[in-house]
Amino acid sequence: MVTVAMERKGRLPVSQQQVTHRLVTVVPCLPATLRDSEVPHFFRERHVLTGYRPLHQDWRYYLLSLFRRHNETVNVWTHLLGALLVLVWFRELAEVVDFAGDAHSWPLLILLLSSFCYMSFSTVAHLLAPRSELTHYALFFLDYVGVALYQYGSAAVHFHYAVPDDWPHWLLGPFMPVAALLCCFSCFGCCFGKYCSHSSPSSIRKLGQVLPSALAYAWDTSPVFWRLWGCLPSCEQDPAALFHAGQVGFFLASALFFTLLLPERWLAGRCDFLGQGHQLFHTLLVLCTLCQLQASHLDYRGRRMLYLRLHGDGEPAFLVCLFVAVALVCTSVAIGMTSKVAGRK
């Protein structure tokens, strides 16, 4: 017994070495992060001075950086967790909503799908984009496709469920086609602004992103604005009004942080890991989406007589077809802009 025990004890260091070797193989030593001066200018974010990941590493490095401290860690996790919450929402709604049998539930399904897309595409972009210049642009173009799809999903539920009874009827016909055009314009503006950031100031990119997106948001959310204005001062009688007000408030706050780059504008270098305006933008946008999902579900259940009267039986199918068209156009824009990036190298 003593001999056996000694033999086992003698083999322990070998086992520990094997375990250590396996751990090093699975989780390699990751390169250190860099300062802004050590990466190309189009990778840099204004007022963020450290925490940049090096280029041209193995894909595994960027995947494992999900669990490492750098200046994109919080951006990745905010939308990753948000996407998981949307999946939870879908699972819960699928138990009480007949998405297959009730065509008027399809706008809600479009919102769920588009919400998951924009958060997932954003997660992938912030996680993997630093690998190379082409990867950086291609993934953020994909991110902008997700944003455009979410804009369309918002327009679909606002038009189908949230539109008030006194909404001008002459707007019913052109509302969704105009919304679709604005989504495509927003995607093009974001992609073109990003493309120009290679040789132009970052303000050009912001201009290309903010103006088309603001125009799309104003149009897509106009039924909600009209409804909230009309229900004052007794909005508490409308069960969805509080959540609609919440989604508007969270979105406007997120746009403020996104546009003004607060608080890192005042605290350059101190918000590199936590506290960036873009991180607050992500968080507030997730809260906006969750409020929007709740409001849309309440409207779907509680305003059925109204939207059945305003929208024909063929309207949901038209919204789905238009959603597919927007997805195809925006994907084509992203592919075209990616080819332009590849062609200038």
- DSSP state at residue 235: G
Backbone region of residue 293 per phi and psi (left: phi > 0; alpha: psi in -120 to 50; beta: other values):
alpha
Peptide bond into 263 cis (omega under 30): yes
With tokens 């709740």, the residue in question is 294
How would DSSP label each residue in 142-177? HHHHHHHHHHHHHHHHIIIII--TTS-GGGHHHHHH
244 in a labelled binding site: no
How would DSSP label each residue in 55-102? SS--HHHHHHGGGS-STTHHHHHHHHHHHHHHHHHHHHHHTTS-TTT-
Alpha carbon distance 261, 8 (integer Å):
60
70 in a labelled binding site: no
Alpha carbon distance 145, 191 (integer Å):
9
126 in a labelled binding site: yes
Question: To which H or E segment does residue 45 belong?
Answer: none
Alpha carbon distance 172, 179 (integer Å):
12
What values do phi and psi take at 34, rounded to 5? -120, 165
Binding-site residue positions for Zn(2+): 126, 278, 282
Binding-site residue positions: 126, 278, 282
